[in-house]
């Protein structure tokens, strides 16, 4: 049993914790939180041992009547691996602590690629993580691009990829974020950092990206162009290729799904926890071939697509399974893969 | 076992169907749909017998490879009670069919009060529905107001209620609805129809309402004022009163919930299906007494608050349980009531 | 000629500067800015003498090739009155400077009432500002409420006013502000500070207010209830009363204006600079009498309704005209009053 | 003097009418409207002769006390050219009337390219319109693309253009339009119709487009990629090229403009009527060269960019000026071209 700690129990951390408890080969040692809010209460109610992320705040948990299992340092020590899901930049601050206890650590996409030995995407470069002490599961957007480009590169070769990422302004509960009524080139300078981030997974891929921010909260949406080295005659071939991948969902035309709202509704209907969509959601009709160019639209659920990747990264780092085994196990236990 | 049919399997209908299957004293005979879309597929996958709502379209289901159990008329005939959850106005068209088969029918808030014998809210007027052939479960907003005003009227007497309903422009998947960037007085003429709708439950209550529409999809929010006949000294008394009601959730200050986004997040965290919030969500801090005036804010989850009410209405119409029994059973089986 | 300085050339400051240049009895001595951005360039292009608000930044203007007329201290010294339109809280920091040069100062609604001798609304308490050294032109929302309540109080007496203010999340260019998709009770505790702010103009008025924040940028919208001491029989009387006021615009039903978007369109059509709506915009159809209760909806253009008030406050402080004269002159020169 | 009629006095029509009155070589014969609303009142107040677009409704204008100059047929007969700015599809219905009176007609981008002899963009194909009876001024988006691609093609040759158009959901007053909180691939099938529409101006240009719809009202934003035949070494060359064009505005970095909200604010500051931005607004910093690929972001003000094009099209059709003369005259009289 792999003993897993989760440090930072927010949007990503709580999902990773839930996913870990579903794994037959893993045990959730505990989760660390900074504040005794309702998420802390819920963690306790779920039976997750709760640790104080900041020693000075232990008394706050006590005052709130929330029982602690210890401090984050004890948690890190007790674990075989720690998943850091703290806000951007905090992971970097935590690195020394993980090193002090000699616990391998996974970080999230908000941390810099320089912080770690390896950036990780299961479909893209699973094997490279084995034995690494510091691994970064790339961001939601980079995860979405890596999953898509891996099979495309293998089947047809990528001459150049050009992607416009139309990003949600904030997650549904982040009420302090805008814009309210605008479309923001973001960043304004081109190409954006998303392309280089994909290159942490596929160093040789030629990719230019452009980012925007819009007043929506549910999912990011990518407008994807890939000039192929060896393009197939028909888009159907590409559809078949993508349909093979468990973490790519080809939205069938008959589903009549026009955007993220109806995608989430679909996720609710089929019983997904939190309405999570762990898969890239690619509009089947949009997959097109024009000469050498492949085009498609995909929606990326920022809050959840990295969750199965974190689970796989745990096994990859510890060398507990190969890529195929790990991805299959993760998919089966979580229910990844959509009809 | 009460045999329940659901005609109209959309936002409300699918939730009612799910809730019915949880009731020990009910059996879901089937659901009727007009089109063989992904919701139809999901219904079949859940094991809900599927009936064609429109005879001419039977072949469409066949072509889509979706097996039908029969037509809506057969479904209505086989049921002890039918819950009509069709779009506004379609319920009225269906009335003759329900009468033809002598099956008592529940309608939703989109239908006119004139269509039915009794408008219904479990907390408000449960007993009046017994034996009625046509009962209307009042709208999400009227349900929210009735649940709140019932205990307030009983404890302190309502001299006059004045409520501004700030309504979500559309449900999350209704992408054709606006406004995108506006605050619309809606309706512009005052008072709005919501007050008279509350009077279908409490005929003697003096209430004036004002409606607005804003660019949000998650929940409605009510700004409530009630001038009391016999006001308590302190708001805490009112809080205690409201906390007694299982379908009123007093959002604790420590939860740090500022709006509907975080409320939904909370619902996800505690494992609510679809993130549904069946309860009125009242900000505890907002409950205030100024002289004879009570003030508070409440958020209403338009997609789900009427669901437990439909379940209770089924029992009320058939005389199968009294109010206390029915509400308790519904609450327990569904998990209504929030910590 | 009254020599007027404007310190803080943003949303409010630039409008006040424009309005001052239209007054026959005023001269714009100059405007002070902190940064040499495009607003600074525009000020220069319009011929407004530009002063550096922060001495250390003089060189930045020079580097940007923007000519300065001097520093803010020189500007304050040269003026008979200074209008401070700096961000909330900065006005308080500037107070000592204005006192050092013995220049009477007007502040905006973001400053605390405690900072000043008098809070000001032209229609409400013009005379009280005469001779004061520090005067605060109340916020956009309080201005909107004061203008409305003044004639209502005079004609019918206000027993109690209850107002829900549904506020825009941010101005159109404030892209860092949310919420994107939520309705936020804000503040959550009741009543909100807006009522007490109205009491700085009408100390004896009984008013309770509730605030919300929504994803819209164009205007605030108020849902207004006033229980009258001596209510008229018909709403038409109230409409006639309000129609008498130049700064209240009764939106005629035939205009078919459903919200702020169409109101702005109307402002553009009639040639308003920046599409500004200096008047409260009251939906004529919404004005209703129910027993002793008056109800109506009004939209408030947050960026501009305080501008004529600032112009009047200048005259009021210096005792240069009485209320009637000043308001008439301001209205005529600016074009306040809508058909 | 060219006698110009405008049929359809809405978003586009009223702007064209205003622009026509500014032309020394044109006279506005009148505008035709269907309903006596506030826009009709404003037209009359501006001194624009008003004609009834629908004969049966003449009495409505009379009842509203709005004086009519005649019917639309009389208007069309009296004009040398008619600008049809009716809603999509109505222009096609009007075609027979224009032919009956032998009056050349301009249509807007909502009409089909098949309806007309020539689709028009001043910079792109001015000369082709001479003598045509039916000319379509292409849509706001196609206008924006044509203006940009014309100089790029001339200077460097376009191997292939790929553009993602992130479109505003509706104009500010169109409150019935969504989405409220979503990012919609629209159309879902690729490439979108915008590319072929550009080909009505540049038949040989290789261009693929993808469209999306988002909850914003102010402007469209394009993410532009052009693979050049003969790419320059540095982006500065491209910037210089684009800066030459009066209808392309390169937003300087120092302006600190992050989106459409601040662009409109800038338009207000410099005194633009309605805050109109007739120019493509290109972020100067975004203009980049990566190998053979040019990238940039541009914002397009859907309500106004086609207005100078309509003015030019009038002269082009009647052969009254050559491209250079007409564009220069239009730009000067309207004030097109931004500092
Ligand atoms: N939300 C997304 O869309 C998303 C998607 C992919 C990756 N990420 C990345 O995941 C990481 C976490 O983001 P998130 O959205 O889950 O953030 P979040 O704010 O939802 O959660 C972070 C949690 O960490 C806690 N925390 C703060 N300081 C801490 C500390 N010192 N020790 C322990 N816990 C601490 C916070 O209380 C919070 O519960 C970031 O790197 C982010 O960039 C986020
Ligand atoms: N969505 C809400 O916010 C909400 C809240 C409370 C009450 N209601 C009321 O509930 C009712 C249903 O609303 P909804 O939001 O669930 O609508 P919906 O559009 O989500 O679902 C209606 C369903 O009925 C189906 N349908 C249409 N015509 C039919 C027919 N002739 N026979 C059978 N099925 C048919 C549709 O295909 C759809 O699946 C309305 O009266 C509405 O006013 C809605
Ligand atoms: N925008 C509104 O909706 C609104 C409505 C009514 C009242 N107000 C009040 O008006 C005041 C100004 O608000 P605003 O919206 O115009 O803000 P703003 O941010 O648009 O403008 C403030 C300007 O002051 C400048 N500034 C900052 N520090 C300065 C300093 N030390 N000296 C001189 N100038 C400085 C800024 O550069 C900016 O140009 C605030 O008190 C606000 O609460 C704003
Ligand atoms: N609004 C934009 O963003 C935009 C941009 C570029 C092009 N266009 C195109 O311009 C055209 C007009 O669009 P719009 O946005 O100005 O529409 P609009 O709805 O704002 O205005 C159309 C006007 O035509 C009037 N009208 C309707 N039927 C009429 C008839 N039979 N005769 C005369 N007038 C009639 C309407 O009352 C309205 O005043 C459409 O083809 C549209 O696709 C619009």
Q: Closest ligand to A84 CA?
A: 1
**Buried b or exposed e, range D167-186, using 16+ CB within 10 angstroms:** bbbbbbbbbebbbbbbbbbb
A169 lines ligand 1 (CB under 6 A): no
Identify the pLDDT of residue C230: 98
Tally of CB atoms within 10 A around B164: 29
Percent of chain D with pLDDT over 70: 100
Q: How confident is the model at residue A200 (pLDDT cuts 50, 70, 90)?
A: very high
Find residue B227's DSSP bridge partners: B160, B293
Provide the pairing of β-strand A288-290 with A293-300.
Answer: antiparallel
Considering only CB atoms, which chain D residues are within 8 Å of B170?
Answer: 178, 180
Identify the pLDDT of residue A55: 87
Measured between CB atoms, which of A37, A218, A265 is closest to B255? A37
Mean pLDDT of chain A: 97
Q: Distances in Å between the alpha carbon of B284 and those of A167, A315, B248, C183, C219?
A: 35, 45, 11, 17, 29
Minimum CA distance residue for ligand 1 atom 42: A110
How large is the greatest C-alpha to C-alpha distance in chain B, in angstroms?
67
The verdict on ipTM greater than 0.90 is yes
A194 assigned binding-site residue: yes
Residues of B near A (CB-CB distance < 8 A)? 14, 36-39, 41-42, 45, 64, 171-175, 180-181, 217-218, 252, 254-259, 261-262, 264-266, 268-271, 273-275, 339
B168 assigned binding-site residue: yes
Q: Tell me, yes or no, if B140 is annotated catalytic.
A: yes
**φ and ψ at residue B300, rounded to 5 degrees:** -125, 125
Measured between CB atoms, which of C180, C216, C217 is closest to A170? C180
CA distance B283 to B224: 11
Whether CATH 3.30.360.10 fits A141-300: yes
Task: Say if the Cβ atoms of D273 and C268 lie within 8 Å.
Answer: yes
Minimum CA distance residue for ligand 2 atom 15: B11
Task: Say if the Cβ atoms of B188 and C283 lie within 8 Å.
Answer: yes
Q: List the structure tokens of A265.
A: 């509704």
Identify the pLDDT of residue D134: 98
Provide the pairing of β-strand D248-251 with A118-120.
Answer: unpaired
Alpha carbons within 13 A on the beta-carbon side of C299:
28
CA dihedral (C151, C154, C155, C157) in degrees, to 10, reads 110
Q: What angle do CA C305, C307, C310 make, to 5 degrees?
A: 125
| Interface size, chain A vs chain D, as Cβ–Cβ contacts under 8 Å | 153
Q: Closest ligand to C14 CA?
A: 3
Q: At CB < 8 A and 24+ separation, what contacts does B324-333 make? A: B326/B122, B326/B126, B327/B122, B327/B123, B327/B126, B327/B246, B327/B247, B329/B23, B329/B24, B329/B25, B330/B19, B330/B23, B330/B122, B331/B246, B331/B247, B333/B19, B333/B22, B333/B23, B333/B24
Residues of B near C (CB-CB distance < 8 A)? 160, 162, 164, 166, 168, 179, 181-186, 188-191, 208, 210, 212, 214-221, 223, 225, 258-261, 283, 285-288, 290, 293, 295-297, 299
Q: Average pLDDT of A3-20?
A: 98
Residue extent(s) of CATH 3.40.50.720 domains in chain C: 2-138+306-334
Residue extent(s) of CATH 3.30.360.10 domains in chain C: 141-300
Residues of D near B (CB-CB distance < 8 A)? 169-170, 172, 174-182, 184, 215-217
Identify the pLDDT of residue A124: 98
Considering only CB atoms, which chain C residues are within 8 Å of D255?
Answer: 37-38
Q: For a substitution probing ligand 3, which of C8, C141, C260 has the most ligand atoms within 8 Å of its CB?
A: C8
A90 assigned binding-site residue: no
How is residue A212 annotated by DSSP? Answer: E
Identify the pLDDT of residue B34: 93
| Stretches in chain B below the pLDDT threshold 50 | none
B141 assigned binding-site residue: yes
Task: Say if the Cβ atoms of C180 and A177 lie within 8 Å.
Answer: yes
Task: Pick from D174, D178, D214 the residue to mutate for testing the B interface (most B CBs within 10 Å).
Answer: D178
**Which tens digits make up the pLDDT trace of D154-199?**
999 999 999 999 999 999 999 999 999 999 999 999 999 999 999 9
| Stretches in chain C below the pLDDT threshold 50 | none
Considering only CB atoms, which chain C residues are within 8 Å of B219?
Answer: 183
CA distance C192 to C189: 7
Considering only CB atoms, which chain C residues are within 8 Å of D181?
Answer: 180-181
Q: Which CATH number fits domain B2-138+306-334: 1.20.950.20, 3.40.190.10, 3.40.50.720, 2.60.40.1120?
A: 3.40.50.720
Q: Please give the distance, rounded to the nearest whole angstrom, from the Cα atom of residue D108 to the centre of ligand 4.
A: 8
Identify the pLDDT of residue C222: 98
Considering only CB atoms, which chain A residues are within 8 Å of C178?
Answer: 169-170, 174-178, 180
SS (H, E, C) chain D: CEEEEEECCCHHHHHHHHHHHCCCCEEEEEEEECCCCHHHHHHHHCCCCEEECCHHHHHHHHHCCCCCCEEHHHHHHHCCEEEECCCCCHHHHHHHHHHHCCCCEEECCCCCHHHCCEEECHHHHHHHHCCCCEEEECCHHHHHHHHHHHHHHHHHCEEEEEEEEEEECCCCCCCCCCCCCCCEECCCCCCCCHHHHHHCCCCCCCEEEEEEEECCCCCEEEEEEEEECCCCCCHHHHHHHHHCCCCEEEECHHHCCCCHHHHHHHHHHCCCHHHCCCCEEEEHHHCEEECCEEEEEEEECCCCCHHHHHHHHHHHHHCCCCHHHHHHHHHHHHCCCCC
Please determine, for residue D38, whether its predicted confidence score (pLDDT) is greater than 90: no
Distance from first CA to last CA of chain A, Å, rounded?
31
A12 lines ligand 1 (CB under 6 A): yes
Q: Who wins on pLDDT, D277 or A254? A: D277
Q: How confident is the model at residue D55 (pLDDT cuts 50, 70, 90)?
A: confident
Sorted by sequence, the CB contacts under 8 Å of residue C332 that are 6+ apart come out as: none
* Chains within contact range of chain C (3+ C-beta pairs < 8 Å): A, B, D
Q: Please give the distance, rounded to the nearest whole angstrom, from the Cα atom of residue B97 to the centre of ligand 4.
A: 44
Measured between CB atoms, which of D181, D216, D217 is closest to B217? D181
Let me know if B290 is exposed, middle or buried by CB neighbors in 10 A (0-12, 13-18, 19+).
middle
Distance from CA of D98 to the nearest CA of C (A): 28
Identify the pLDDT of residue D37: 86
SS3 A39: helix
SS (H, E, C) B184-200: EECCCCCCCCHHHHHHC
Exactly one of B140, B238, B251, B263 is catalytic; which is it? Answer: B140
Residue of A nearest to B60 (CA): A254
Contact A61, A44 (CB under 8 A): no
Identify the pLDDT of residue D339: 79
Considering only CB atoms, which chain C residues are within 8 Å of A170?
Answer: 178, 180
From the CA of D91, give the closest atom in ligand 4. 41
Contact D163, D145 (CB under 8 A): yes
Active site residues of D: 140
Exactly one of A140, A148, A210, A299 is catalytic; which is it? Answer: A140
Exactly one of C29, C50, C76, C140 is catalytic; which is it? Answer: C140
Identify the pLDDT of residue C339: 79
**Which tens digits make up the pLDDT trace of A38-58?**
899 999 999 999 999 998 889
Measured between CB atoms, which of C252, C265, C274 is closest to D172? C265
Q: List the structure tokens of B287.
A: 């409950």
Q: Distances in Å between the alpha carbon of A303 and those of A234, A277, A281, B122?
A: 34, 9, 14, 37
């Amino acid at each position: 049993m792999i003993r897993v700690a989760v440090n930072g129990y927010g949007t990503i951390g709580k999902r990773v914790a839930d996913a870990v408890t579903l794994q037959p080969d893993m045990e959730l040692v505990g989760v660390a939180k900074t504040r005794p809010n309702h998420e802390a209460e819920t963690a306790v109610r779920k039976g997750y041992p709760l640790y104080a992320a900041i020693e000075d705040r232990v008394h706050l948990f006590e005052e709130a009547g929330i029982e602690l299992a210890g401090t984050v340092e004890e948690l890190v020590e007790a674990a075989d691996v720690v998943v850091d899901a703290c806000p951007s930049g905090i992971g970097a601050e935590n690195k020394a602590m993980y090193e002090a206890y000699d616990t391998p650590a996974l970080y999230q996409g908000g941390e810099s690629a320089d912080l770690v030995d390896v950036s990780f995407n299961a479909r893209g470069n699973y094997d490279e993580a084995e034995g690494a002490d510091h691994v970064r599961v790339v961001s939601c957007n980079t995860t979405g691009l890596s999953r898509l480009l891996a099979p495309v590169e293998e089947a047809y070769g990528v001459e150049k990829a050009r992607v416009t990422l139309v990003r949600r302004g904030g997650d549904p509960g982040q009420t302090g974020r805008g814009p309210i009524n605008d479309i923001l080139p973001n960043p304004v300078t081109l190409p954006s950092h998303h392309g280089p981030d994909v290159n942490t997974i596929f160093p040789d891929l030629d990719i230019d990206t452009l980012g925007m921010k819009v007043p929506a909260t549910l999912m990011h949406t990518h407008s994807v162009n890939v000039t192929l080295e060896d393009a197939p005659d028909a888009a159907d071939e590409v559809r078949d290729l993508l349909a093979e991948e468990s973490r790519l969902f080809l939205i069938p035309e008959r589903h009549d799904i026009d955007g993220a709202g109806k995608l989430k509704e679909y996720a609710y209907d089929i019983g997904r926890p939190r309405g999570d969509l762990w898969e890239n959601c690619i509009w089947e009709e949009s997959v097109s071939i024009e000469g050498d160019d492949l085009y498609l639209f995909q929606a990326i659920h920022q809050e959840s697509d990295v969750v199965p990747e974190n689970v796989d990264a745990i096994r990859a780092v510890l060398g507990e399974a190969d890529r195929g085994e790990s991805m299959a196990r993760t998919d089966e236990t979580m229910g990844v893969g959509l009809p």
